[in-house]
Amino acid sequence: MSTFQRDLSLTGQPPKTINLQQKIATVIGIIGLGILALFLMNVSLPHKAIWLTASLLLMTVGVLLFTRAAYANEHAGIKNHGVYFKSLSSRGFWAWALGIVLTLFYVVLYWFPQYLGLVTEGDNKGLIALFDPLSRLISGNPASQWFVYGTLYTLAILIFGIKFIYKYRHNRYEVIRTFSVMFFQLSFAFLIPEFLVALQLPYYDFKNIWPLNYELFAGYKIDEFISAGTIGLLMLIFGVISVFVITPILTYKYGKRWYCSWVCGCGGLAETAGDPFRHLSDKSQFAWKVERWVVHSVVVFVTVMTTAVVFSYLRQNESDSLSEYSPIENHAVFISALEGKPLHERVRNAQEANATAVYFINKEASEAPPRLSNTEGISIPFYVVSEVENSAALKEVRRGEAATFVLDGPEGQKVTVAEGASVSFFDNLWISKEFFIWFVIGLLTLVFGWAMLFRREQLAKDAKYGAIGYFVIVLSILLFTYFSTPWKLFFFDAYQLRKGYGFLIGAMFSGVIGVGFYPIFGSRVWCRFGCPMAAILGFQQRLFSRFRITTNGGQCISCGNCSTYCEMGIDVRAYAQKGENIVRSSCVGCGICSAVCPRGVLKLEDGPRKGRIEGKDVLLGTDIDLMNHVN
């Protein structure tokens, strides 16, 4: 019954097929892709810059011509004719073909970059070599698989963004929103990080906020920030502020759309290149249930993982944790803390790890310098240097320059660290692991307690059970593993946790399934089922925001366009036909439900929290008492 309209329509007729100009445009675009394929197959041609330009240009021209052919002769307005008749947009042959190609691309990108031509030592080959000229132009470095990916990703958002804008040219919300995602992708995600690298600063996409950017607080990233001095520190602080301050404020004011459909790169691709597939999202209640469990589990996972990673970083920063396995071979080691095990043991541990010398930075000039109470078996030198007297030298040594230290003590002896010598600093972070653990526990308790105390009437039963369950489990494991040695929070090595998360969530979920399956499951699978950032923003949106989609009184005719074209699989109609406003944590505020509504029923708005959800019974003829007063 549900497919009679497909069985009966013959091939080769509008709106099922694309017109001749669109076919020509498709061929042009595919030639552009073909150039990439040639290089992928290691056909090495000279003049890479020209070939690259030609390829990108052909793809651009192809998409723009396609857009023109599709919409130029049409009135401005909704363009969904034949969406469910076309193979590509209704899970037909072309949809599967595209899905498989995209999936393969992601598999190669994440796990086999050598097939794209990545060469770690020496010149790149193949596809990656093709992008070398552009990469050198922007940052001065050779391309990597991520540069190739970033370029194609940005190009897709830009050209399909233009297509989207033209498609929705009658709708200013869509036009402005799309310009916004195009801007953020091109500048924040693509150019600025490359420029930062060119300036010898850490690679940083400022709009890529933790936990979407799950590596932001990984040890190597923090090291990068810290070693970049003040600017690096500001970046790190910005990263913390963006998740704890900027995000809640903007989400309170505008809902999570400010991020998910105005700024975010994943959302940007979904809204532009993914637009033809938006209706494929699953609208069933079952899918909604799966969504709630899966996405919130990812939040738990990322929180656990990040906590473990930061904890382990802080722990490793303590000289107390020095051991023969510490990566300090041939390093001059600087320490400055006394709590924990005796100083001589630390020095011995450093020696076992083949450090060259241990410097104790004495921060309290007034106090007597500490001494080793036991020098048995210690053969590397141990120096105590005053921080005040050696501030210049400390800076020099961090920069890798030669530095001369004045030792504490009446003699005023001097020791020089040679230029380019490896150094390791310990005890130089202002937060301790204790502080961090209690901060995490405090924050989780605060959020949990707030939701349970002040929003419990808005939480469904399974939400309450889920929250309580996760909260109790996470906190118990956290406390248990914290108070037991050997300092592995959550039983696993932090590095393993991060690797596991990166593989399962970062690569498999957001890449392979998220984008690879666009033509099968729709464009927002990652955003809906996987993105922990979207889940946190959604939590705020549902419980603490002024945003809602208003239902216009009794005008809804239950046609189902809103639900069908909701990329997040929200059954918008279920609310609209009851006259209720839509306040759902997953809503990314793309505005398409409002656009496709034939009766002007839906409007995205920010307004007072009072009366945000309830319907206007009087307009629906439900409020019997009030109705008696009408007419």
Partner 1 sequence: MEHVVIIGNGIAGVTAARHIRKLSDKKITIISSEASHFFSRTALMYVYMGHMRWKDIEPYEPHFWKKNRIDLIQDYVTRVHTKEKKLDLEKGQPISYDILILATGSTTRTFDWPGLNFKGVQGLVTKQDLENLEQNAPNKDVCRRAVIVGGGLIGVELAEMLRTRDIEVSFLVREGAFWTGTLPLPEAKMLSEHIASHGVDMQHHTELKEILGDDEGNVRAVVTNKGTEIPCDLVGITTGVTPNIKFLETSDIETDRGILVNEHLETNIPNVYAIGDCAQQRNAIGKRPPVEAVWYTGRIMGKTVAQTLCGNPTTYQPGHWFNSAKFFDIEYQTYGWVFSEKKKSEDEVHFHWKHPNKEICITFAYHRRSREFLGVNTFGIRMRHEVFDRWLQEKRSIDEVIQHLSQANFDPEFYTQYHSLIQKKFMTNATITA
Q: Which residues bind partner 1 (CB under 8 A)?
A: 1-5, 8-10, 13-16, 75-78, 80-86, 170-173, 176, 284-285, 550, 552-555, 557-561, 563-564, 573-574, 577, 591, 594-595, 598-600, 603-605, 616, 618-622, 624, 627-628, 630-631
Yes or no: say if 344 and 372 are a contact pair by the CB < 8 Å rule.
yes
Q: Of 473 and 626, which CB lies nearer to partner 1 in the complex structure?
A: 626
Q: What is the DSSP letter of 502?
A: I
Yes or no: say if 415 and 407 are a contact pair by the CB < 8 Å rule.
yes
The single-letter code of the amino acid at 582 is: I
Neighbours of 264 (CB within 10 A): 28
Q: Of 80 and 114, which CB lies nearer to partner 1 in the complex structure?
A: 80
Least distance from C-beta 78 to partner 1, angstroms? Answer: 8
Q: Of 1 and 453, which CB lies nearer to partner 1 in the complex structure?
A: 1
Least distance from C-beta 629 to partner 1, angstroms? Answer: 9
Calculate the alpha carbon distances from 64 to 15, 59, 88, 177, 208 in Å: 20, 9, 18, 19, 29
Residue 606 β-bridge partners:
547
Output the DSSP codes for 38-58.
HHHTT---S-HHHHHHHHHHH
Neighbours of 618 (CB within 10 A): 17
Give me the helices (H) in 425-577, please: 433-454, 461-483, 494-501, 518-521, 525, 532-543, 561-564, 572-576
Least distance from C-beta 104 to partner 1, angstroms? Answer: 29
Least distance from C-beta 282 to partner 1, angstroms? Answer: 11
Least distance from C-beta 18 to partner 1, angstroms? Answer: 13
Q: Of 20 and 630, which CB lies nearer to partner 1 in the complex structure?
A: 630
Q: Of 413 and 558, which CB lies nearer to partner 1 in the complex structure?
A: 558
Least distance from C-beta 7 to partner 1, angstroms? Answer: 9
Q: Of 61 and 559, which CB lies nearer to partner 1 in the complex structure?
A: 559
Q: Of 537 and 595, which CB lies nearer to partner 1 in the complex structure?
A: 595
Yes or no: say if 603 and 562 are a contact pair by the CB < 8 Å rule.
no
- Which residues, 6+ apart, have CB-to-CB distance to 284 below 8 Å? none
The token duo for 65 is 């011509």
Least distance from C-beta 461 to partner 1, angstroms? Answer: 16
Q: Of 180 and 297, which CB lies nearer to partner 1 in the complex structure?
A: 180
Q: What is the DSSP letter of 507?
A: I
Calculate the alpha carbon distances from 535 to 445, 610, 625 in Å: 18, 23, 41
Q: Of 180 and 187, which CB lies nearer to partner 1 in the complex structure?
A: 180
- Which residues, 6+ apart, have CB-to-CB distance to 451 below 8 Å? 459, 467, 539, 543
Q: Of 296 and 573, which CB lies nearer to partner 1 in the complex structure?
A: 573
Q: Of 10 and 20, which CB lies nearer to partner 1 in the complex structure?
A: 10
How far, in whole angstroms, is CA 334 from its chain's centroid?
35
Least distance from C-beta 77 to partner 1, angstroms? Answer: 4
Least distance from C-beta 12 to partner 1, angstroms? Answer: 8
**CA atoms of 629 and 23, how far apart (whole Å):** 62
Yes or no: say if 33 and 8 are a contact pair by the CB < 8 Å rule.
no
**CA atoms of 300 and 302, how far apart (whole Å):** 6
Q: Of 255 and 267, which CB lies nearer to partner 1 in the complex structure?
A: 255
DSSP H/E element including 134: helix 126-138
Least distance from C-beta 273 to partner 1, angstroms? Answer: 21
Yes or no: say if 382 and 351 are a contact pair by the CB < 8 Å rule.
no
Least distance from C-beta 392 to partner 1, angstroms? Answer: 56
Least distance from C-beta 279 to partner 1, angstroms? Answer: 8
The token duo for 200 is 């010898």
